Structure 1
Amino acid sequence: MSTHPERPDHDVLERIRADRVIATLRAPDADLALIAVEALVEAGATSIEVTYTVPDAGRVIAEAVHRYGDRALVGAGTLTTPEQVAGARDAGAAFFVSPGFDADVVAAIRAGDGPAIIGAYTATEVQQVVANGVELVKLFPASIGGPALLRALRGPFPDVAFVPTGGIRGDAVAEWIAAGAVAVGAGSELISSEALRGGDRGALVAHARAYLAAAAAPA
């Protein structure tokens, strides 16, 4: 599978590989989401996915890019319509994530800059996603199959770049990387739900730092 080195996407893909962890941010409102972004950047997270389940997600992305774009990649997630893709692109998103395959959504992402990270779980789904030029396959929900599922899928798809997401602990990241992942996605495991609801920036920073430290440890 080509990562299209002639496209600006290439630098983003290499950055995600180096970061190893994409922080997947869900929040009950835009203000709490921005507090979480600030905490994640302070903790050292440099690939941050703002999901479209966050109210006014486009504003959150635009503000996060304005504040932290020199220190972090800010992407958009849970994209399920081409209109959301367009809004995320206008807001300055650096990468685009969808939980599953939709041809119109993938086409909208591929029409502009920024790599697509599209959800798949079975061999059939992976094959369909890759056939549509997707750069990264979001293996979701990863915790159900575990690293053994990824190792099995890499048999027929040795060149596919997988990003397992869902239920991945910090101390398990190295095992996933060893199994062939280029990075992992982490949501509530990385972003404390309790601290987020309370807007406790200090607790968010501490929780994220602990996760990222565990994620950086060798297998």
Structure 2
Amino acid sequence: MQKYEVLDEMHKGYIVAVIRGKNKEEAVEISKQAFEGGIRSIEVTFSTPEAEEAIAELSRLGNTRMILGAGTVLDAETARIAIMKGARYIVSPHFDGAIATMCNRYATPYLPGCGSVTEIMNALSSGVDVVKLFPGSLFGPSFIKDVRGPIPHVQLMPSGGVSLDNLEQWKKSGAFAIGIGSALTKDIANGDYSSVQTVSRSFRNKLAELTEE
């Protein structure tokens, strides 16, 4: 049940903070600020130097409410390293069968980036439960409805191009969750990361408004 408990918590929280830091320290600080702003799902990308150590440090905090994952995972070896360091889910910009096998071995959710129905079906056939729609900005919310016509059971999480302005559209389209990256860090200046918390709270407040409607 571990795999599905993580996915259920990600769905409930709905927003995934995609963390890309210049170094380990920055990744950890941005992650903490996003979490303080109300985003529970934290995806530390391996485009960050020493990403595995950032994951380990965040894992050592012992906060059971944080759903810690690894992103930009390009191969099965990196997936295993991330899992051993404390990642509870794995995200990649593409679909890789070897990563899917590794994640299944450790009962860890794998969310591969897919951009076509063929890629989505290949991912589902390998035991993937949630597919990352990437880049989300290329397709738009209507793509989810179009895909769910022939494949009504598919769960899609857009990442890339998600903003406060289109959050409502993505949610109404039936997105499983949404990933936000550059929108989180656009106001960082001179080593002050407090803006990340402010932006995170704005997304959480917007989501709360939509949920109440």
Give the TM interval when normalised to the shorter protein: over 0.9
- Separation in 1, partners of 2:175, 2:99: 24
**Contact 2:187 2:195 survives alignment (8 Å):** no
**Contact 1:48 1:72 survives alignment (8 Å):** yes
- Separation in 1, partners of 2:182, 2:152: 29
- Which among 182, 194, 215 is matched to residue 207 of structure 2? 215
- Which among 3, 12, 22 is matched to residue 28 of structure 1? 22
Aligned to 2:123: 129
Q: Which AA in structure 2 matches 1:46?
A: R
Aligned to 1:114: 108
- Separation in 1, partners of 2:33, 2:62: 11
Query: Within the alignment, does 1:192 sit opposite 2:188 as a pair?
Result: no
Residue 45 of structure 1 aligns to a residue in which SS?
coil
Q: Which AA in structure 1 matches 2:17?
A: A
Query: Within the alignment, does 1:93 sit opposite 2:73 as a pair?
Result: no
- Separation in 1, partners of 2:24, 2:186: 15
Query: Within the alignment, does 1:206 sit opposite 2:198 as a pair?
Result: yes
- Separation in 2, partners of 1:45, 1:24: 11
- Separation in 2, partners of 1:199, 1:71: 26
Over 3 Å off, 4+ runs: none
- How much has 1:147 moved relative to structure 2? 0.8
**Contact 1:100 1:118 survives alignment (8 Å):** yes
**Contact 1:41 1:72 survives alignment (8 Å):** yes
Query: Within the alignment, does 1:70 sit opposite 2:64 as a pair?
Result: yes
- Separation in 1, partners of 2:37, 2:156: 25
Residue 18 of structure 2 aligns to a residue in which SS?
strand
Query: Within the alignment, does 1:81 sit opposite 2:75 as a pair?
Result: yes
Q: Which AA in structure 1 matches 2:7?
A: L
Aligned to 2:133: 139
What is the percentage of aligned positions where both structures have the same residue? Answer: 31
Distance 1:164 1:181, change over 3 A: same
**Contact 1:137 1:162 survives alignment (8 Å):** yes
Aligned to 1:44: 38
**5+ unaligned residues in a row in structure 1: which ranges?**
1-6
- Separation in 2, partners of 1:176, 1:194: 23
Paired residues, what number?
211
- Separation in 1, partners of 2:138, 2:185: 21
TM-score, L = length of structure 1? 0.91
**Contact 1:101 1:129 survives alignment (8 Å):** yes
Residue 170 of structure 1 aligns to a residue in which SS?
coil
- How much has 1:86 moved relative to structure 2? 1.1
- Separation in 2, partners of 1:167, 1:62: 28
TM-score, L = length of structure 2? 0.94
Residue 217 of structure 1 aligns to a residue in which SS?
helix
Residue 122 of structure 2 aligns to a residue in which SS?
helix
Q: Which AA in structure 2 matches 1:208?
A: S
Residue 160 of structure 1 aligns to a residue in which SS?
coil
Q: Which AA in structure 2 matches 1:105?
A: I
Residue 149 of structure 2 aligns to a residue in which SS?
coil
**Contact 1:35 1:199 survives alignment (8 Å):** no
- Note the aligned Cα RMSD (angstroms): 1.4
